[in-house]
Structure 1
Amino acid sequence: MANTAQAKKRARQATKQHAHNTTLRSEMRTAIKKVIKAVQAGDKAAAQEVFRASTRVVDSIADKKIIHKNKAARHKSRLSAAIKAMA
């Protein structure tokens, strides 16, 4: 348990930041799922449009260091490959 005022404040800040990061991470996962759903539906044009939007979300979250930049690149690469594999 935090003893000093500084440690108590940092504990409060950490809790708030954790909640914010969790929200952003959830937003990223939702964006990825939208692309996967569009790919499974078979509509390539819609999948590409959703992919562009989700790329912005993933990059934004990587810039904020909530996820590692390589993880962001991996997600984008796999989604892009799934869209390219469509007929």
Structure 2
Amino acid sequence: MANIKSAKKRVLTTEVRTARNKAIKSKVKTYVKNVESAIAAGDKAAAQAALTEAIGVISKAASKGIYHKNTAARKVSRLTKAVNAMA
């Protein structure tokens, strides 16, 4: 553990931010999984609804800096492409 007061504060701050980032990334993965399971089930309406929710969560994560904007765009693009490819 650090001896300097500011270094101790940085350690605590980093722990809090790491926990928050991990929670947000986990939430994104859950919503992506919901879209993928709807696609696997062949339910286009459910996939479309899940996609809308997932896009919102991914965009929010990108705006907070959890994901780079291009990473978020790539995730949204791939999910949208998968949903649109459903027959």
The question of a shared fold, defined as TM-score above 0.5 by the shorter chain, is answered with yes
Deviation readout 1:21-70 (Å, 9 max, x if unpaired): 10010000111010000011101111001100010000000000011111
TM-score, normalised relative to structure 2: 0.96
Identity of aligned residues (%): 45
Provide the rounded CA distance (Å) in 2 between the counterparts of 1:73 and 1:29. 15
Structure 1 counterpart of 2:43, one-letter code: D
Question: 1:23 maps to which residue?
Answer: 23
- Quote how far apart the aligned CAs of 1:3 are: 2.2
Runs of 4+ in 1 over 4 A off after TM superposition: none
TM-score, normalised relative to structure 1: 0.96
2:5 is the counterpart of 1:5: yes
Give the length in aligned residue pairs. Answer: 87
Provide the rounded CA distance (Å) in 2 between the counterparts of 1:39 and 1:46. 8
Provide the rounded CA distance (Å) in 2 between the counterparts of 1:19 and 1:4. 23
Please list, as runs of the form range in 1=range in 2, the aligned pairs for 1:1-87 lying within 5 A after superposition: 1-87=1-87
Structure 2: unaligned runs, 5 residues or longer? none
CA RMSD of aligned residues (A): 0.7
Provide the rounded CA distance (Å) in 1 between the counterparts of 2:71 and 2:7. 32
